[in-house]
């Protein structure tokens, strides 16, 4: 038995990266997510400063999903003295070790590049870069290394899978369970129940990242349980998107143009979620005769692994895809798809001429194989660059989305003659109307909403709408501000 729960956001408070939420109830302490801050060098250096919580006293860490902005700092926990369990769904538990090893490798590589003066250059030249972009380009401080491979392996050994909808006791009077959030494979909302002195147990729900109401690949997310307090994401709190069918229509037109022009389609993409969503849509367009025999290259070993993993969890896919997997088919595989596993293969594809579709990281166009694909094709009028979803300010992807005319990649100054297509509809997050519908479905209505994982504007917009229709307090805490419930 303990006092009423309190909530502290140590990340994703008025921003969309660095998710880290501490829930305290009496002597019980659960951390939900421990993700990387992303963006400018100043943002990256925030990762090196451990949040002011006592890691050894944490009872458990629960991870909502395997995106690095939610799990990328887990490797710090061993050196901070954490010795508890890391709880995640079965699919997330399969992804996390590979994500953490990849993050450790990337940190070491970036430090070496900085020390040897070989860091990749990817910037906008015309129009002149804004302050965020300039900060990225004039880095005077080495990139942080917050954990190594040994620490990544150490925390991975503490991961304990938990099935959806099953309760897991953390300590007497404190337990958690996970509900499908349909954001990416294995994503979850986290329900925390704690006993309170002199009253019934209190329940808190951390939404995690919520997928759209009608995901194209995954099953429909679970209905939220009855709870007292909700920590709700607000990524798209100020945005409303069109019908999902509009995405396939727009992608189909991109493929038609590529076949007509004989040009390349470059899709900067993230390995988890975005890549699989695009592959599924390309497979669906192929079934309707819209792929035109174009070769599709998936230039990301992590994306290849994650794509193959989907077939191992048919119960997490939508009904038609689940039936396809049970028949022995893989919904993310088709004859024109060519997975790439090495830099040598990637460079060979870049040197090929002719029409092709290339999915490559990073999704922000600030590193990874997408840079040499862009360098080799962006001056061609037959090339089309498809920018899906949000681009962080200061990145090359943000500049391309803002119609940059000239860019620099490495030592090459390049005229941007390629067509650019923005597909903001292809978001893995619920939009404003879907967030409100999810909040309305909570019955009885919670007494409090705590908004996280959104810009200040997104939080303010959705807060006003929630306040107008929900008989609940709506809180927008700042970083490290504790909210008593």
| pLDDT tens digit sequence for 208-230 | 999 999 888 999 999 999 999 99
Distance CA 108, CA 149 (A): 9
What does the pLDDT read at residue 427? 87
Q: Which residue has the tokens 């494979």?
A: 185
What does the pLDDT read at residue 353? 86
439 in Cβ contact with 207 (< 8 Å): no
Q: What is the DSSP string of 400-465?
A: HHTT-SEEEETTEEEE--SEEEEETT--SS-BHHHHHHHHHT-SSPPSEEEEESS-HHHHHHHHHH
Distance CA 342, CA 318 (A): 32
Q: In what order do the strands lie in the sheet with 448-452?
A: 168-171, 174-180, 188-194, 202-206, 229-233, 448-452, 473-475
Q: Which fold has domain 6-117+143-239+429-484?
A: Metallo-beta-lactamase; Chain A (3.60.15)
Q: In what order do the strands lie in the sheet with 406-409?
A: 122-126, 406-409, 412-415
181 in Cβ contact with 208 (< 8 Å): yes
Burial of 326 (0-12, 13-18, 19+ CB in 10 A): exposed
412 in Cβ contact with 442 (< 8 Å): no
What does the pLDDT read at residue 306? 97
Distance CA 276, CA 116 (A): 35
Instruction: For 472, list phi and psi in degrees, rounded to 5.
Output: -150, 155
Q: Please list the ranges in the chain whose pLDDT falls under 50.
A: none
What does the pLDDT read at residue 130? 57
Locate CATH 3.40.50.10890 in the chain: 245-423
What does the pLDDT read at residue 210? 98
Q: Which of 453, 380, 370, 455 is nearest to 414 (CA)?
A: 380
Domain 245-423: CATH class, spelled out: alpha beta
What does the pLDDT read at residue 470? 84
What does the pLDDT read at residue 135? 55
- For strands 406-409 and 412-415, give the pairing: antiparallel
55 in Cβ contact with 86 (< 8 Å): no
What does the pLDDT read at residue 314? 97
What does the pLDDT read at residue 2? 65
371-375-381-387 Cα dihedral, nearest 10 degrees = 10
Residues 6 or more apart whose CB falls under 8 angstroms from that of 402 comprise none
Helix spans in 204-360 (H): 245-261, 274-287, 301-310, 319-326, 343-351
Locate CATH 3.60.15.10 in the chain: 6-117+143-239+429-484
What does the pLDDT read at residue 103? 97
Distance CA 206, CA 21 (A): 9
13 in Cβ contact with 20 (< 8 Å): no
What does the pLDDT read at residue 177? 99
Distance CA 443, CA 205 (A): 13
């Amino acid at each position: 038995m303990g006092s009423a729960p309190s909530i502290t956001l140590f990340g994703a408070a008025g921003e969309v990266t660095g998710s880290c939420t501490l829930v305290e109830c009496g002597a019980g302490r659960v951390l939900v997510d421990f993700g990387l801050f992303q963006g400018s060098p100043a943002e990256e250096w925030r990762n090196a400063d451990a949040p002011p919580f006592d890691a050894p006293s944490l009872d458990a860490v629960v991870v909502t999903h395997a995106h690095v902005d939610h799990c990328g700092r887990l490797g710090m926990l061993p050196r901070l003295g954490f010795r508890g369990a890391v709880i995640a769904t079965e699919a997330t538990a399969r992804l996390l070790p590979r994500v953490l090893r990849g993050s450790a490798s990337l940190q070491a590589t970036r430090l070496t590049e900085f020390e040897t003066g070989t860091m990749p250059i990817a910037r906008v030249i015309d129009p002149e870069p804004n302050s965020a972009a300039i900060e990225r380009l004039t880095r005077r401080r080495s990139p942080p290394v917050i954990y190594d491979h040994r620490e990544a392996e150490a925390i991975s050994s503490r991961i304990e899978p938990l099935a959806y909808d099953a309760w897991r006791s953390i300590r007497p009077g404190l337990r958690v369970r996970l509900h499908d959030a349909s954001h990416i494979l294995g994503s979850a909302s986290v329900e925390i129940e704690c006993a309170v002195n002199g009253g019934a147990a209190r329940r808190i729900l951390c939404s995690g990242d919520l997928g759209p109401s009608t995901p194209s690949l995954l099953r429909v997310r679970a209905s939220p349980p009855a709870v007292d307090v909700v920590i709700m994401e607000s990524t798209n709190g100020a945005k409303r998107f069109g019908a999902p069918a509009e995405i396939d229509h727009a992608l189909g037109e991109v493929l038609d143009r590529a076949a007509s022009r004989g040009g390349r389609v470059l899709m900067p993409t993230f390995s988890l979620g975005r890549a699989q969503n695009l592959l599924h849509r390309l497979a669906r367009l192929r079934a309707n005769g819209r792929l035109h025999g174009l070769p599709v290259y998936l230039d990301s070993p992590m994306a290849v692994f994650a794509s193959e993993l989907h077939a191992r969890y048919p119960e997490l896919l939508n009904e038609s895809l689940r039936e396809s997997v049970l028949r022995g088919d893989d919904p993310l595989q088709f004859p024109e798809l060519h997975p790439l596993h090495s830099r040598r293969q990637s460079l060979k594809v870049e040197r090929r001429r002719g029409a092709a579709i290339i999915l490559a990281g990073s999704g922000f166009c600030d590193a990874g194989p997408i840079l040499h694909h862009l360098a080799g094709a962006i001056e061609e009028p037959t090339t089309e660059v498809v920018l899906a979803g949000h681009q962080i300010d200061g990145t090359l992807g943000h500049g391309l989305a803002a119609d940059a005319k000239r860019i620099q990649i490495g030592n090459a100054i390049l005229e941007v003659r390629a067509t650019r297509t923005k597909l903001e509809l292809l978001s893995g997050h619920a939009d404003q109307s879907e967030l409100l519908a999810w909040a309305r479905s909570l019955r009885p209505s919670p007494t409090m909403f705590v908004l996280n994982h959104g810009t200040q504007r997104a939080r303010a917009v959705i807060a006003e709408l929630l306040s107008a229709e929900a008989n609940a307090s709506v809180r927008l805490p700042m970083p490290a501000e504790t909210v008593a419930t």
